[in-house]
Amino acid sequence: MNKIALLSGIVLCIGTILLMLSILYELNMVSALFKSYGGGSQGVRDVGNGAQDFFRLGGVTFLFVSISIVLKKMFKKINLVDFILLLLFLFVIILSSARSLLVGVFLALVFLTLKKVKPITLFFLVGICLLCFLFIAFFSDFSIAMFSLSDEGTSHKIKHAISFIDWVNNYNIFFGEGLASLYFSSASNEFTSQTEITILDNIRYFGIVLTIVFYFAILFPSFSIAPWKVDNGFPLVVMLIYILMSITNPMLVNSVGFIVVLWYWSEILHHEDKK
């Protein structure tokens, strides 16, 4: 399954680069194809006093799984192919202006570092990652301002959360209001059924109790095997980080999110079959 995940990541990278080239060189037919069938998007993200161009495919969040697998392999043995894949995945993640993925990669790196690593390997990996971030940041005007609260996307998420608090009462917080239920959000200044904050949407739909059941079912596909015992807890940590990223991004309850879940279940259940 990991080979498929890596191949999927490579395809996503090639697609993203093709999307960028089709827009930069005004290949309208190609860019329209991506927008119609690949969930492609392009634009400029206002961050702080500057702006960040981005080129993104709808399935880019799956790159988190791909790059986590590459990092795990490199912690065991560094080779040229994995090194090239690491650079490719990092480049496309930054090109996509996906802040949550950057945070996720950092958390995965921290986990792998804490588990087991030789000093020379740690120095090499951390150095490479820092150089990549600094190099692309310098030439793309990509800075810490990308995470600024003045960013339009961040501002909308805060307003969604404040509107959620206004929506809460003693009944709906426990039982929810059903799938696609509407609530008024000051971010869009209208009634909406879905926001970028997945966990709050789930609570609005199902209530706290069923939301807990939902996440429990994702993390524990089998009661006969403890997920933290599979591959030293690597699949579980990757899934937990992905869920954490989905708190402020609509990347779990959709086709791409459930593919990540299927990857995780495959890793857990495959280990169970070996026993």
User: How is the chain split into domains, by residue range?
Assistant: 2-147, 152-274
Q: Tell me phi and psi for residue 190, to 5 degrees.
A: -160, 170
Q: Say which residue the tokens 């239920």 belong to.
A: 181
The CA–CA distances, whole Å, from 84 to 10, 20, 74, 95, 166 equal: 11, 20, 11, 16, 48
DSSP 8-state assignment for residue 144? G
DSSP 8-state assignment for residue 99? H
Please tell me the predicted confidence (pLDDT) of residue 140: 47
| Distance from the Cα of residue 91 to its chain's centroid | 15
Q: What's the CA gap between 264 and 266, in Å, rounded? A: 5
* pTM assigned to the model: 0.79
Q: For the stretch 225-243, what's the b/e string if a residue is b when 16 or more beta carbons lie within 10 angstroms of its beta carbon? A: bebeebbeebbbbbbbbbb
* Beta-bridge partners for 192: 183
Please tell me the predicted confidence (pLDDT) of residue 14: 87
Q: What's the CA gap between 1 and 267, in Å, rounded? A: 8
Range list of H helices, the chain: 2-24, 28-37, 63-76, 80-95, 99-115, 119-140, 152-167, 172-175, 198-219, 234-246, 255-274
Please tell me the predicted confidence (pLDDT) of residue 153: 65
Please tell me the predicted confidence (pLDDT) of residue 104: 87
Q: What's the CA gap between 100 and 53, in Å, rounded? A: 17
Name the amino acid, one letter, at 77: K
Q: What's the CA gap between 65 and 1, in Å, rounded? A: 11
Cβ contacts of 246 within 8 Å, gap of 6 or more: 198, 199, 252, 257
CB 58: neighbour CB atoms within 10 A?
A: 19
Please tell me the predicted confidence (pLDDT) of residue 119: 64
CA max distance for the chain? 57
CB 17: neighbour CB atoms within 10 A?
A: 15
Q: How do residues 213-259 score in pLDDT, each as one tens digit?
A: 999 999 998 888 888 888 888 999 999 999 988 887 788 888 888 99
Please tell me the predicted confidence (pLDDT) of residue 143: 47
Please tell me the predicted confidence (pLDDT) of residue 89: 92
Q: What's the CA gap between 187 and 248, in Å, rounded? A: 14
User: Are the C-beta atoms of 201 and 211 separated by less than 8 Å?
Assistant: no
User: Are the C-beta atoms of 58 and 50 separated by less than 8 Å?
Assistant: no
Please tell me the predicted confidence (pLDDT) of residue 213: 92
Task: Extract the residue ranges of the chain whose pLDDT is less than 50.
Answer: 140-147
